[in-house]
């Protein structure tokens, strides 16, 4: 059993999908033992507490600089003997120092088919706004390893989702989550944990 940490910033629907996948046996090679948030109001924290998963809040404003912020996250991960780190709506870019420390041990879910609509500045609703602006008819989600290039690590899994003519960024975000993110993130976690 691999020890998994999930890093979050917001609502935590992807964290919920991971918790549900543990309960229904889709994830069986690892277990979420720690949730770290960089936002004290993240509903993801409540989701973790509801099922007895340890939580830790690490705020940038309480840190001297990014180096210190990442050092505090690394310390929390090492104290919990974490094998695999999952970024599930974690809205902070991690430096090369962090990513190289955990090479091939950090996964991220991104709400587009990489290499479209990804990289610096493309996060959350902005991704779906850009997809609608461009007029693509198919979008989706990607789970990939995290390296020093934003959204640039090796792709593990992708799933396509249809864009509808009357979509708003919000309706498209919801469909991409339901039809892609919540499905491929647990599967990718199981794949990577089982091969570690
Ligand atoms: C998800 O759509 C996730 O793919 C996206 O933020 C949302 C978080 O929702 N992540 C990124 O844009 C990262 N670049 P959640 O908190 O409900 O899981």
Beta bridge partners of 107: 86, 145
pLDDT at 93: 87
| Residue nearest atom 12 in ligand 1 by C-alpha distance | 123
- How many A from CA of 68 to the centre of ligand 1? 24
The pLDDT of 174-191, averaged and rounded, is: 98
The pLDDT of 125-152, averaged and rounded, is: 97
Locate 174 and state its tokens: 């919801």
Give the whole-angstrom CA distance, residue 55 versus residue 45: 7
CATH topology of domain 2-195: Rossmann fold (3.40.50)
pLDDT at 52: 98
Distances (CA, A) of 35 to 1, 76, 100, 155, 171: 17, 10, 21, 23, 27
Choose which residue among 19, 35, 106, 124 to substitute to test ligand 1 binding: the one with the highest number of ligand atoms within 8 A of its C-beta.
Answer: 124
The pLDDT of 15-23, averaged and rounded, is: 98
- How many A from CA of 2 to the centre of ligand 1? 23
Give the distance, in angstroms, between the CA of residue 91 and the centroid of all CA atoms in the same chain.
9
Instruction: Give domain limits for the chain.
Output: 2-195
pLDDT at 29: 98
Least Cα distance to 151 among 142, 163, 159, 162 occurs for: 142
Ligand 1 atom with the smallest distance to the CA of 88 is: 18
The pLDDT of 131-156, averaged and rounded, is: 97
Least Cα distance to 5 among 44, 41, 40 occurs for: 44
Locate 112 and state its tokens: 């587009």
The pLDDT of 158-181, averaged and rounded, is: 98
pLDDT at 109: 98
**Which residues does ligand 1 sit against, CB inside 6 Å?**
8, 10-14, 44, 88-89, 109-111, 123-124, 127, 177, 181
Check if the beta carbon of residue 176 is closer than 8 Å to that of residue 128.
Answer: yes
Give the whole-angstrom CA distance, residue 178 versus residue 111: 11
Locate 131 and state its tokens: 């997809």
Least Cα distance to 109 among 94, 124, 120 occurs for: 124
Give the distance, in angstroms, between the CA of residue 90 and the centroid of all CA atoms in the same chain.
6
Instruction: Tell me if the pTM is above 0.85.
Output: yes
User: pLDDT tens digit string along 63-116?
Assistant: 999 999 999 999 999 999 999 999 999 999 899 999 999 999 999 999 999 999
pLDDT at 46: 98
Give the whole-angstrom CA distance, residue 175 versus residue 28: 26
Catalogue the long-range contacts made by 123-127 (C-beta closer than 8 Å, 24 or more residues apart): 123/91, 124/10, 124/89, 124/91, 124/173, 125/169, 125/170, 125/173
- How many A from CA of 111 to the centre of ligand 1? 7
pLDDT at 87: 98
DSSP one-letter code for 177: I
């Amino acid at each position: 059993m691999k020890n998994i940490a999930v890093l979050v910033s917001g609502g935590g629907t992807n964290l919920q999908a991971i918790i549900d996948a543990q309960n229904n046996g889709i994830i069986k090679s690892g277990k979420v033992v720690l949730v770290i948030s960089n936002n004290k109001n993240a509903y993801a924290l409540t989701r973790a507490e509801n099922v007895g998963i340890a939580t830790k809040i690490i705020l940038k404003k309480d840190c001297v600089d990014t180096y210190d912020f990442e050092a505090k996250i690394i310390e929390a991960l090492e104290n919990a003997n974490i094998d695999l780190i999952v970024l599930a709506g974690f809205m902070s870019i991690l430096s090369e120092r962090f990513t190289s420390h955990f090479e091939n041990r950090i996964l991220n879910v991104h709400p587009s088919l990489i290499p479209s609509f990804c990289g610096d500045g493309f996060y959350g609703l902005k991704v779906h706004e850009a997809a609608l602006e461009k007029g693509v008819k198919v979008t989706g989600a990607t789970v990939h390893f995290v390296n020093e290039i934003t959204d640039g690590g090796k792709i593990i899994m992708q799933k396509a989702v249809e864009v509808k003519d009357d979509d708003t960024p919000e309706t498209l975000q919801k469909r991409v989550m339901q039809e892609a993110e919540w499905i491929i993130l647990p599967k990718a976690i199981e794949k990577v944990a089982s091969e570690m």
